[in-house]
Every structure is written in structure tokens, then in C-alpha cells.
Amino acid sequence: MKKRLYILIIVMGIMCTACGNSKDAAGKRNEANVVDSTGEAANTNADSTEEEADKADTAGETADNNADTIGGTAEKYADTTVETPDKNDGATEETADNKNDDAEAEYIIVENPSEDYYCIDSAVLYGNESVISLDMLTEEANDITDTEKWFADNGLENIEFCDIEDEKYRYELDGDDGYSRYILRIYDKTSGEHLKTLDFSEYRYANEYKESDYDFIEQRIWWVQSVDDILYVAIGHNTYTESAPKNGYMTAIDLKDASVIWKSAPCVTNARNFAIIDDTIVCGYGFTSEPDNLNLLNITDGELVKQIPLKTMADYIICKGDTLYVRTYNTNYIFKIGKAG
């Protein structure tokens, strides 16, 4: 019995020892595993650290690139910023010059004193009925469309209606569109200075007109010319007289104050231009199925002194030396200019 108990005790001791060894082995294995894991973690952390370092390098590189880009962009915009004010300053200066030019030029709405003949007393006192004489030399049919040839054959300078000039001034015609020419800008021909702007709004529509023809009766400036600072202006419409009979005026304006000296009777001018010869204004009026005449007005008071019948309405009236060339719709005339009687 004692022998069995002794053997049992020995066996239990052996088992306990084995268990202790197993635990130690397991513990060592666990420690090894922990060490391995720590090593792996360390390696992983090291790799991560290297990766983070790479990222940091990349970020630094990116920052450098961004800095370069920003620097380049800054330089680019810096250059642009330098250029832009110059351009804006130029535009601003130009705009300012234009505004100042318009602001400095006097703007005057020209009075329309009457829809019939008008003249101030002083002009009547000094007026006379003496005008040049015109003797017809030739009368020839034209081809209607050969206007350029007519200018060239007679050595005449073609007429520009949007930019007119005389010895002293240059004129610009303007309005709401290319047709409505009721604004007249006057410039010094030598200096280019904008002197005055004359507004002929009060001349655009007559009080008496045919309502059905209202779209065609607007009157506009046809031609202007000055002599001794008196401006002569032709204004009229381009349709039948019966549509608005109070049209087709010559008007004389004192350029010192833009006052009207005289205004002719209606229906004396609707040709493309007129000519001033000594003390006479030669203009023309007519239309389809209406009398067509060359009209001679006294330059002092605007009185109609003489009429010369034409076959059709006058288009161009051009003086060259002692010869007057008149082109109508279908006929060309040449007149010899004589002195006033």
C-alpha cells in the first residue's frame, strides 16, 4: 500500500514537472512570439517611418514644386499686373480725351424759326438781288449709273457725304442711324479741335405732312459749307413734296453763336450738295413727276432770285474754275459762269 502511494506521489511529481516545463516552454514560445511580433511591428513601423519619410520628401518636393508654380504664377501675374494698368491707363486716357473733347465742344440745339421764309432784319437791309449768271454750254443724256465716269471724265473730285470739309472746317454728320443725319460736328481743319456740335432736331419733321408717308418724311442734313464763319446748311427729305411740303431748306447760321440769320423758302434744295459762287448759292430741287430746277439764292438773305429748269432732279452741283457741272438723274449739264450784273 505504502509502495503504491509512493509510486503515485512520484508519478504526480513527474507530471507536475512536465506541466511546469510545458508552461515554461509555452511561455518562452509566447515571449518569442511577442519578440517576433515586436520585431515585425518594429519592422513595420520602420517601413512606415520610411514611407512617411518618403511621403514627407514627396510633400517637400510637392511643396517646392507648388512654390515654384506659385512663384512662376506670381511672376506671370506680376507681369500681367504690370501690363494691364498700362493698357487700362491708355484706354482711360483715350476715353477721358474723348469725353473731354465732347465736354469742351459746345453743344447747341439750332432754333427752327419758321417753316416758311425767315430772315433777320440786318440781312434784309444789306441784301441784294444780284446773283451770278449761268449760260448752258452742253446738255447730254447720261447712262444713269455712270456717276464715277462723270467725275473722272470732267476731272472732278468725288463727294464724300459723311466727312465734308471746306477751307477752314471739317464736318461730321451723325444721327440715330446711317440715314438720320441731324447732328453736325464741327472741327478745326488745321488743329483737329472739336469746336461745336449743332443739333438740328427741330428741323427733322414738319408740322404739315401726310400721315401715311410719315416713315419717309424725316429731313436730314445733305450738305454744309461755310464762308466767313457763316455756315450754310441744306436740309430736306427724299420723297414727294406732297408728303411733307415744308421741306428742302437752305439755312444760314452764324458760327459765333449758332443763331439763324436766314432760312430760305421751302422746296429749294434736295440735291446731294450745293455750290457757293461769289454771292450766290446754287442748289437744286425736284422729284419724280414734279418740276425740277436749278435754284440761285442770294447768299446774304436767302432769297430765291432765279430758277433754271432741268429735265430731271439735280444730284451733283460742282464748280470748277468758271464752269459749273450739274449732273441730274439722266442728264449732264455744263454751264459757263458769268459775273453778277
Give the start-to-end residue ranges of the domains of the chain.
107-338
What's the one-letter identity of residue 218? E
Between 95-99, 171-175, 252-256, 313-317, the lowest mean confidence (pLDDT) is in: 95-99
pLDDT class of 40 with cuts at 50, 70, 90: very low
pLDDT at residue 97 tops 50: no
Residue-level pLDDT at 131: 85
**217 close to 226: Cβ distance less than 8 angstroms:** no
Residue-level pLDDT at 159: 85
pLDDT at residue 84 tops 50: no
The highest-level CATH class for domain 107-338 is: mainly beta
- Torsion 237-242-246-248 (CA) sign: positive
Angle at 106 between CA 102 and CA 109, to 5 degrees: 110
pLDDT at residue 76 tops 70: no
Between 80-94, 250-264, 315-329, the lowest mean confidence (pLDDT) is in: 80-94
As a three-state string, the secondary structure of 95-164 is HHHHHHHHHHCEEEECCCCCCCCEECHHHHHHCCCCCCEEEEEEEEECCCCCHHHHHHHCCCCCCCCCEE
pLDDT at residue 85 tops 60: no
Residue-level pLDDT at 103: 57
pLDDT at residue 102 tops 80: no
Residue-level pLDDT at 66: 42
Q: Strand pairing partners for 291?
A: none
